[in-house]
Amino acid sequence: MHADPRIAKIYEQVVRRNAGEIEFHQAVKEVIDCLGPVLKKHPQYADQKVIERICEPERQIIFRVPWVDDRGEVQINRGFRVQFSSVLGPYKGGLRFHPSVYLGIIKFLGFEQIFKNAVTGMPIGGGKGGSDFDPKGRSDAEVMRFCQSFMTEMHRHLGEYTDVPAGDIGVGAREIGFLFGQYKRMTNRYESGVITGKSPQWGGALVRREATGYGCVFFVDEMLKARGKSVEGMKCVVSGSGNVAIYAIEKLEQLGAHVVACSDSNGVIHDPQGIRLDTVKRLKEVERRRIRDYTEAHREARYIEGGCIWDIPCQVALPCATENELDERAARTLLANGCIAVGEGANMPSTPGAVKLFVDSGIAYGPGKAANGGGVSTSALEMQQNASRDAWTFEFSEQRLHEIMRNIHRNCYETAEAYGSPGNYVIGANIAGFKRVAEAMLAFGVI
């Protein structure tokens, strides 16, 4: 039972209206369960039905993506763009290409994005998109044809002042290139600010590639500093081996931490001597291979097919793979093994049971909405550079990212304290993000 019956009613309504979209329900529940004290302090939010309005996307676009594969066979995928909230700026959020994608995944991601973006303090709304297309095993030519077909439909819904996508799982520099190229062709406009995560050679920002991973480590370091510690010397495990994981590992190493494991959806690499990042980068960024091949270059490392990375003892755990990858059992194991900090590089990687264990245990737990906001923040910096036709140096951009992560940390920390839950970054991030959106909604009237 919810402490506030108004919130229980809103949740019931969300479940009824969005039947079967379990990830969306989970994301909504986590946020609105934090809002009881906010409604008490600000009755106008309840009177004006602010929560009910936020839970309903402003616009949802679902479309057919037909394309022809290398064998000449016609393929049909489904494309999505959920434009959730534009009160703080143009819809902003990535595109995910993965076979698990359906409306419920895009809606959970879009919903999270509203609050994540709000907590950064930057002028960006929330949205998300993607497709059930699986780029794995597809040729460059197939990926290009898919992206061109996807953008042929989606271009009419985008714009630098309207909706600005970027990457997510399955969408990296290659896909962003094909998507931007087709947008330019459809609109006859070189509108750099319409998409972020571009190559720095044609309008992209330096540090965007590194930003989510680096930012997550900066955030964890801030949480530890608030407790008189730091990541230096810590034994870490980082799940995943994609863009977020790779650059989280890089920054951890730069700050003197020791990363002993990473993974992909097939298995886990445990390298007690320290994960060799050059090998991971070559396998994943250049050769597009699986993480099991790591042991070809490093015989001392162990590959555990189907293993659980959270069984490997560590002090700092960074889930950087995907949603619900860390369950209650894994959380128990981590805590029993002496883990003192968890920073979510992925979106909603911990199940509700795991979150509760982390929060109740009092360890430093940074939820994705706070800890992985560095990616989208650097996208906002990319939009800023595009708008002024400027390009900043790596050093300056990284310094800006670091400042932003410190601000996100302070914002969450102070909000949690103000609402009587010191050290609870879940409450801090959800309330800080919600209040910024809610204030703008009240100012704009019933829209």
Catalytic option among 107, 128, 284, 369:
128
Of 11 and 97, which CB lies nearer to ligand GLU in the complex structure?
Answer: 97
Structure tokens at 139: 């040729």
| Active-site residue, 40 included | no
CB of 206 to ligand GLU, least distance (A): 15
Q: Which residues bind ligand GLU (CB under 6 A)?
A: 92-94, 166, 168, 196, 347, 375-376, 379
Of 117 and 149, which CB lies nearer to ligand GLU in the complex structure?
Answer: 117
Of 312 and 326, which CB lies nearer to ligand GLU in the complex structure?
Answer: 326
CA nearest neighbour of 344 among 333, 332, 331: 331
Between CA 210 and CA 208 the distance in angstroms is 5
- CB neighbour list of residue 180: distance below 8 Å, 6 or more residues apart: 194, 195, 198, 202
CB of 374 to ligand GLU, least distance (A): 9
Region class of 280: left (phi > 0), else alpha (psi between -120 and 50), else beta? alpha
Q: Which amino acid is at 38?
A: V
Q: Which residue has the tokens 């989970």?
A: 26
Of 110 and 267, which CB lies nearer to ligand GLU in the complex structure?
Answer: 110
Between CA 121 and CA 47 the distance in angstroms is 25
Structure tokens at 438: 């809610």
CB 150 within 8 A of CB 179: yes
CA nearest neighbour of 293 among 264, 260, 251, 259: 264
Between CA 109 and CA 21 the distance in angstroms is 12
Of 204 and 428, which CB lies nearer to ligand GLU in the complex structure?
Answer: 204
In the bound state, the residue with its beta carbon closest to ligand GLU is 94
CB of 250 to ligand GLU, least distance (A): 18
CA nearest neighbour of 23 among 438, 368, 377, 431: 368
Q: Is beta strand 59-68 parallel, antiparallel or unpaired with respect to 341-343?
A: unpaired
Angle at 37 between CA 31 and CA 39, to 5 degrees: 85
CA distances from 309 to 250, 271, 331, 414 (A): 18, 12, 11, 33
CB 385 within 8 A of CB 392: yes
Catalytic residues: 128
